[in-house]
Amino acid sequence: MVDARSDKAFPVSWDQFHRDARALTWRLSGDQKWQAIVCVTRGGLVPAAIVARELGIRMIETICVASYQNYKEQGELKVLKPVSQEIVDLGGGEGAGVLVIDDLVDTGRTARLVREMLPKAHYATLYSKPMGRPLVDTFITEVSQDTWIYFPWDMGLTFQPPIVG
């Protein structure tokens, strides 16, 4: 489980995730009226649902990318479905007025690719690591590069042996 990339664990409960998603929404709820949310699947689906509910946004698009296989190993970045031209053209083009939501930025490779498609969009994540941070406009919590974030949908309740005994 421990490797050079991530020897610390940052487990996030459903409660914490929900609180962080609401905190992100507060930061995004200023004067700007978002025309649409683009969520980066699959990790962006859950935060996007919460943010969309809080901001009253019903225009929601996906961009489907995959890169991490076998957990923690990043492979080739694959775009399985790009964002539609209709969404790119909103607000005058290049994604202006569009809010991109993902669960986190790590190396920033995913964010860089999405930004090429939507250069004027606002990129928001719940969590960030130092390498990806320059690519995000708004985020809630930063963890170190060698930390692995465990999302609630990837975990379950397990018995913990007593500390003594």
Ligand X SMILES: O=P(O)(O)OC[C@H]1O[C@H](OP(=O)(O)OP(=O)(O)O)[C@H](O)[C@@H]1O
Report how far residue 46's alpha carbon sits from residue 50's, in angstroms, rounded to the nearest whole number. Answer: 7
Beta strands 60-69 and 73-81 are antiparallel
Residue 20 assigned as binding residue: no
Q: Does 26 bind ligand HPA (CB under 6 A)?
A: no
> Residues 89, 102, 137, 154: which is the catalytic one?
102
Residue 107 assigned as binding residue: yes
- 7 in catalytic set: no
Q: Does 145 bind ligand X (CB under 6 A)?
A: no
Which of 36, 87, 100, 132 forms a contact with ligand X (CB under 6 A)?
132
Neighbours of 90 (CB within 10 A): 20
Which of 23, 29, 68, 84 forms a contact with ligand HPA (CB under 6 A)?
68
Which of 108, 118, 126, 148 forms a contact with ligand X (CB under 6 A)?
108
Report how far residue 28's alpha carbon sits from residue 141's, in angstroms, rounded to the nearest whole number. Answer: 15
- 15 in catalytic set: no
Q: Does 62 bind ligand X (CB under 6 A)?
A: no
- Closest to 38 (Cα-Cα) out of 129, 152, 117, 92: 117
Beta strand ranges found along the chain (DSSP E): 8-11, 36-41, 60-69, 73-81, 98-105, 122-128, 141-142, 147-150
Residue 29 tokens, joined = 């709820």
Q: Which does 95 bind (CB under 5 to 8 A by kind): ligand HPA, Mg ion, ligand X, none?
A: none
- Closest to 53 (Cα-Cα) out of 28, 72, 85, 74: 28
Closest-approach residue to ligand X (CB): 43
Smallest gap from Cβ 94 to ligand HPA, in A, equals: 26
Q: Does 95 bind Mg ion (CB under 5 A)?
A: no
Catalytic residue positions? 102-103, 106
Q: Which residues are annotated as a binding site for xanthine?
A: 106, 149
Binding site for ligand HPA (CB under 6 A): 68, 104, 106, 148-149
